[in-house]
Amino acid sequence: MNYRIVGRTAGVALLIAAASMALSMLVALFYGEDPLPFVWAILITGVCGFLLTRLRPDVNLFYAKEAYISVVGIWLAVPLFSALPFLFNGQFGSVVNCIFESVSGFTTTGASILEDIEALPKGILFWRSFTHYLGGMGVLVLTSLITSTSQKRFQHLMRAEMPGPTADKFAPRLRTSSRILYTIYLTLSGLCAICLMLTGLSPYHAAVVTFSTAGTGGFGVLNGSIAAYENPAAEMVVAVFMLLFAVNFGIYFLIASRQWRQAVSSEELLVYLGIIVAATALIFANVRGAYETLGDGLRHVFFTVTSIISSTGFATADFNLWPAFAQSLILILMLVGACAGSTGGGIKVARVIMIIKGLGQELRRMIHPKAVSVVRLSGKMIDDDTIKSVYRFIAAYFLITFGANLILTLDNYDFSTTFSAVISCMSNIGPGIGLVGPMESYALFSGLSKVVLSFCMILGRLEIFPILLFFAPSVWRKS
């Protein structure tokens, strides 16, 4: 293991984090709030980051394991240091709470231990929401890293999602593809913020809601989430942009380069939209009696569906009060999650399609053992290795989910609460069912459970395997 190169990469990330804290400190100063929590956090983070960037690797070779460990290092170090403003603010209760909130922010989960959000200063809340925005960017870097990697398996997953350009055409080099993704991210965010201001939100609220929407995070600055704005137009803007940020960013690249036909023929996109329509219709049929007008019901259901499938977790309605069918469908949406190559979390629509097609392929093979049977996604052939890696992901996902749930049950809450909390954190959603519902918080859990859940958020965000690698002893041997 080339420790120095890993440390150096983490150092650069910490400097970016420190600069972002400085932006939040300006917001605190603008509202006449105490800037000291930020000053200390910036100093510590900045100095550590600077020292790490001073590391000079003996060799500049970057093997697969250095790449994985660097990614994990960033996703562990940045949330840890970014918890400092929360710690120095002093309103978060415990160190574990600060870390939970910060991890939840960077992984764009949006699960919170805060019971009274509005009691916090505006600067701290701005930073809290901004971690979503940075986390969303981080995921996009990760995406472009994977796109430009030589690992065939990952390329296939990406290519599978992008019907038009193959990975090498789309992303000849990491820098170029990162730039394209960032441009799309910033443009969509700008549009979202403008639309929100047009519906009457103040610039501050438009900014923080945009950060959470763009990163598909879900932290709000009001106790009642998006419902607290009592602004149906803003709700629809948020719903539409949650939907948009959970689409594979490759689609926007196609649209920007006017390859319309390829964009709309993406199988993942069509299935994703199909799931949204079907889930909205089914849940609406299940809950419509609870709402005075059909329009009201449809609005809340559509908002909830886009909020969950995009893994954002904003709420305008408390789905804890809906019937079991609606809740169980919401749990399925949590598992499915967004499109691959977006800022959203979950198993990903592309994987779900490949699982179902893979099972179909197996049935064909059972009937005709010697015939050639191929799985295609958007017309492109998916090889057996890719299908296997998708199955493996599912096996690992549920192994971890039931294991983590077992530890959480030591707190002795009901099964729906703990199980949905784990799935919600693994899929980076935020709210769950029962005691962690959309109008509740994660404050009830013990420190151990909060650590386990923070861990699940990072596992989900990095798609499990890089994190598991972190715990393999052989990775840490000096090479």
Binding mask 56-95 for a second copy (x = CB under 8 A): --------xx--x---------------------------
Cα–Cα distance, 413 to 467 (Å, whole number): 28
Contacting a second copy within 364-423 (CB under 8 A): 364, 366-367, 369, 384, 387-388, 390-392, 394-396, 398-399, 402, 405-406, 409-416, 418-420
Contact region with a second copy (CB under 8 A), list: 20-28, 74-82, 360-368, 445-453 = 360-368
Nearer CB in complex with a second copy: 227/436: 436
Binding mask 307-336 for a second copy (x = CB under 8 A): ----------------xxx-xxx-xx--x-
* Tokens coding 54: 């001073």
Contact region with a second copy (CB under 8 A), list: 34-42, 53-61, 114-122, 470-478 = 470-478
* Tokens coding 285: 């049929």
Q: How far is the CB of 254 from a second copy (least distance, A)?
A: 30
Cα–Cα distance, 49 to 80 (Å, whole number): 13
Q: Which of 58, 90, 292, 474 binds a second copy (CB under 8 A)?
A: 474
Q: What is residue 433's three-state secondary structure?
A: coil
Q: How far is the CB of 413 from a second copy (least distance, A)?
A: 6
Instruction: Using CB atoms within 10 Å of the CB of residue 375, give its burial: 0 to 12 exposed, 13 to 18 middle, 19+ buried.
Output: buried
Contacting a second copy within 139-158 (CB under 8 A): 151
Nearer CB in complex with a second copy: 132/351: 351
Q: Does 358 bind a second copy (CB under 8 A)?
A: yes
| Chain CA centroid to CA 129, Å | 13
Nearest Cα neighbor of 153 from 244, 64, 38 is: 64
Residues in contact with a second copy, counted by CB under 8 A, come to a total of: 56
Distances (CA, A) of 354 to 202, 230, 246, 385, 400: 43, 40, 18, 12, 21
Nearest Cα neighbor of 445 from 420, 419, 409, 416 is: 409
Nearest Cα neighbor of 436 from 419, 454, 448 is: 419
The torsion angles phi and psi of 463, rounded to 5 degrees, stand at: 55, 45
Cα–Cα distance, 282 to 274 (Å, whole number): 12
Q: Which residues contact a second copy by CB under 8 A?
A: 64-65, 68, 151, 323-325, 327-329, 331-332, 335, 355-356, 358-359, 362-364, 366-367, 369, 384, 387-388, 390-392, 394-396, 398-399, 402, 405-406, 409-416, 418-420, 433-434, 465, 468-469, 472, 474-475
